[in-house]
Structures are given as structure tokens and as C-alpha cells.
Amino acid sequence: MYSYMKSKIQTYKQENEERGRFLIKCPDQPGIVSAVSEFLFKYDANIVESDQYTMDPEGGEFFMRIEFDCPDLQEKAGKMEDEFQPIAEEFKMDWKLMYVSQLKNMAIFVSKEPHCLLELLWEYQNGDLMANIALVISNHESCRETVEAHGIPFYYIPANKDIRREVEEKQKQLLKEYNVDLIVLARYMQILTDDFVRDFKNQIINIHHSFLPAFIGAKPYERAYQRGVKMIGATSHYVTSDLDEGPIIEQDIGRVNHRDNEKDLKKIGQAIERSVLARAVKWHLGDRIIVHKNKTIVF
């Protein structure tokens, strides 16, 4: 399986050597699209996908994602970034230029429940989640065999609130060693410190097992059952210092009724969790998300 995935990743990288993506956020004004398009035309680039959105057209914010093919992109990359800077300064842009062949390095944090981890591994195995899953970190040993069967390093680091900072230092060392770009909390049942979250701003995606802002915090299925809800859901969001209140990326729901007990709600909810987290992670890896204040624009 490991060699199979390496082959698929290598093929993907070769097929996308000439593909790049711009993510742009700036104050709205005339000429932005024209300036970016003319810049790409100068480099013989062909725009294959373009999305834009203006938040409050009168004096609001402008957001754009452009995907393009450009001959000899790797050789031109440095010059393109340097020559785009004056355009970015003119329009006061917050911008990124990503290269599709340079896959992001991803770390997955998990505790006991494996369903979200398994979904990500299935997507990865199928070639539908294009990233380097660099490592999996867990405060339990239960997922080791599954992870290592995919050729992915597994690190067991026991954790609790009394040794939280010590644990996070070990985690940070590993994340630095593997040059991690994205951390996915696949039902990792530990609260991260403010320092850890600040070090990885908009780089940590969590799955919460409720339709936020309903049932923030622990035991949402139990509270949903006690409340007698008719719909339950899941929410994937970027992690901030405020518990379960970071920018929401994706949500979904499922119907329940009076016949469903707590175990039924949990079973239904876990299926929703898996798909919601997988979509959010794939959108991040595909450079489809722009964070604005405590919201996301998802192209």
C-alpha cells in the first residue's frame, strides 16, 4: 500500500508541475482582476479556474482564487513572486502563490475513536486527498497498527491537562522535524494551549461533533439527546484560543427522532463527522479557503 500511494503522489506531482494558484484578499476597487490577469498573461499562463467574491460591494473586501497553468513554472516561480509584489502593494493585497506540485505536509492528531482518522486514510488511499501525511500523533496506542499499515509514522505521546505544555513541546518538535503545514484534529480529545494555537494560526482544523454554535464543549450527543433535538450535525473549523469558536469551514446535519437514543445519535453523528472533516481538509489542501476575521470564504 505504501509503494502504491508513493506512486500515485509522484504521478500527481508530475502532472501538476506547471500548475499554480493565487489566493488574494484586499479592499475592493476597480482593476484588481485586470491586473492579476495581465500579470499571468505576461508569463504565458492560462487561467483554468477563477472565482471571486466581494463582501459588501461599497467599500468592502474582495476575495479571489485563480488556478492557472504556466510553462516552466518552477523556473519562473521566484521571479513571478518578486514581480507580483508591486501589484500587491498597489492594491493592498494579502496574497499567497501556491504551487500545486508542492504537496502540503499534514499531521493528524487522534485519541481513541478512529472513525475520522479512518476516513482521512481512505481518502488518502484512494488518491482523493493529495497531501503528504507525514505523521500521526495520539495519546492512545489503539490506532498504531492501522496507521503503520499505510507506511505512516505513528507517535504515542500520553497527554492530560497536568502535563499539557510538556506534551506540546514534544509535539512541536515532531511538527518541526516533519515540516508540517497542516494539523488535523481527527477527534483528538485534548484542549490545546493558546501558545500552541498561536504558533499554527489557521493551520489547525478540528471536527466538533455538533452543529455549532449548538452544544459547544464536551458531550454534545448526550446534551442533544436530553434536549430532544430533531437534527444533529458536525462542524469543521479552524482552531482558535476560544473553544469551538474558530472560523467555520464546513457543516452538515442528519435527522433524528424520538426513537433514537444516545448511542443512535452518536452513530448517526459519526458518519456526518467523517464527511464534514474530509471535505474541510480537502478544501484546505486545494487552497480553496480564505479566512476573514472569524469567517471563511470557501471557493
Catalytic positions are: 244
Cβ pair 249, 208 in contact under 8 A:
no
Distance CA 117, CA 187 (A): 8
Phi, psi of 92 (to 5 degrees): 55, 50
Supply angle C-alpha 66, 207, 224, rounded to 5. Answer: 130
H or E element that contains 106: strand 105-110
Distance CA 154, CA 148 (A): 7
Cβ pair 111, 140 in contact under 8 A:
yes
Range 211-230 burial, b when 16+ CB lie within 10 A, else e: bbeebeeeebbebbbeeebe
Estimate to the nearest angstrom the gap between the alpha carbon of 6 and the chain centroid: 21
Distance CA 210, CA 202 (A): 21
Distance CA 280, CA 239 (A): 13
Give the SS3 label for residue 97: strand
Q: What is the CA radius of gyration of the chain?
A: 21
